[in-house]
Amino acid sequence: MKKISLFVTFCTIPLLVIYSQCCAENILNLNVLIEEALANNPEIMVFQKRKDALWERPAQVKAWDDPLLTFGVSNVPTDDFDFDTQDMTQKYVAIKQNIPFFGVTSLREKAAIETAKGAESELEDIRLNIVSSVKKAYYQIFFVNEALKITEANEKLLNEFVEISQAKYEVGEGLQEDILKAQVELYKMQEKLIDLRQQKETLQAELNTLLNRAPSAALEGSPALQVTQFAFEKHELEEIVLAENALLQALQHDIKKTEAEHALAKKMYFPKFTVTAAYGQRDKRPHATSSKSRITDAQGNVNEVTTRPLDFDTERPSLFTLLVGVNVPLWFKSKQNRGVAEAYHRIAQSRSRYESVRNDIFFKTSDLYARIIRGKDLIALYKDSIIPQAGQSLDAAIEAYRVGKIDFLTLLDSQITLFNYEIQYRKVMTDYEKDLAALEVVMGKSLF
């Protein structure tokens, strides 16, 4: 009966004391992990660089098209390719500039700015999601650690149960059914330990991935959890959503962008100007020289005659050309009209998307609020009522078993019941904190 006495002594030690050793462990700091994730997570870097790239566009789209500089020659005679024999032969340089209609470049710039602002909001949403993921992984590791400690403590206790049931059976005071039941419960605990250890490895790899570490890197310390106080009313959360939610802000910028594009499409009815200025340089004429030629008159006499070209100036003035062109929106029914209609539909699409996302976010807010209130109430219920009552019930079962008022299986059920409540209590705590982390994403800001 020495083993029975040892069992009773062991059972009277509260389980909270058995696994309270976690308090002495090195605590893994959640804030440090969040800062590391924000600095190193590659997904954040993707959206950061996308935002930076988009902010380079407004100045580009506001600028005019590059002028076109042209060099060439014109009216060159093909018989001798001389530049000084024909008056219209010239070497010229021309510059052409497209000039958009008033307000076009400003609208392009506005659309690009709204796109960049939307990218900033999307970046903030990604940051909040990464922070939330880090918190959820952290809290889930806390739960698995706690579940491991509780399960390991119960495994030791069930080993004692098996030994006690075997000892009682050997002296004729117990049943073989007690031994089998205790062994089955022990095997269940061992199965749960295998599953929990696998979960812990997976969760640590997930957290390391969020931190951009090697998945197998060791975590220095163990997570700790303190129940966060929640004092928001539902209407307060809805006000925060409308003012802070990053997705809604991104969609608002998208609406403004499409409105600017609609105004820009209307500007396409107006002309675009093309101004061309050209300068043509002509070579000098050759100098006039006298020449002698022989002419035979009617009597057959040959006479020498000195001839000269006409007396032109030797200098040819350069030529200047200025051209102004304007496009004619001749095909406006199939081009400009369609462009305006397309932009209008995009505005309607953006507004509908905003309303859809807003309704979904309001639903998530209501759902999370209800779950958080439920979790808050359950935590208080487990802490103040269920766990203490289950502990008292186990103490009473131990005392009753000692004096022979209940059988072994009833005592075993009381212990398993307390074990399940202890696990569920920590799951409720973990789910509550994970819901708070999810709520911060929906709100669009850190609340706690």
Q: Distance between CA atoms of 288 and 281, rounded to whole angstroms?
A: 21
Q: How many Cβ atoms sit within 10 Å of the Cβ of residue 77? A: 12
Q: Distance between CA atoms of 222 and 17, rounded to whole angstroms?
A: 18
**Sites in the chain below the pLDDT cut of 50:** 1-24, 310-311
Q: Distance between CA atoms of 98 and 195, rounded to whole angstroms?
A: 70
What's at 320, amino acid-wise? F
Integer Rg of the chain from CA = 44
Q: Chain centroid to CA 267: how far?
A: 35
Q: CB-based contacts of 31: which residues, under 8 Å, 6+ apart?
A: none
Domain edges within the chain: 2-443
Positive/negative CA dihedral, 125, 131, 132, 134: positive
Whole-model pTM above 0.85? no
Q: CB-based contacts of 99: which residues, under 8 Å, 6+ apart?
A: 64, 272, 273, 274, 275
Burial 35-58 (b: 16+ CB within 10 A, else e): eebeeebeebeebbeebeebbebb
- Token readout for 312 is 């032109």
**384 and 401 Cβ atoms separated by less than 8 Å:** no
Q: Please report the pLDDT score of residue 3 as a whole number.
A: 45
pLDDT tens profile 383-424: 999 999 999 998 998 888 777 788 777 888 888 899 999 999
Q: Which fold has domain 2-443?
A: Outer membrane efflux proteins (OEP) (1.20.1600)
- Token readout for 260 is 């600017």
Q: Distance between CA atoms of 122 and 135, rounded to whole angstroms?
A: 20
- Token readout for 350 is 């953006």
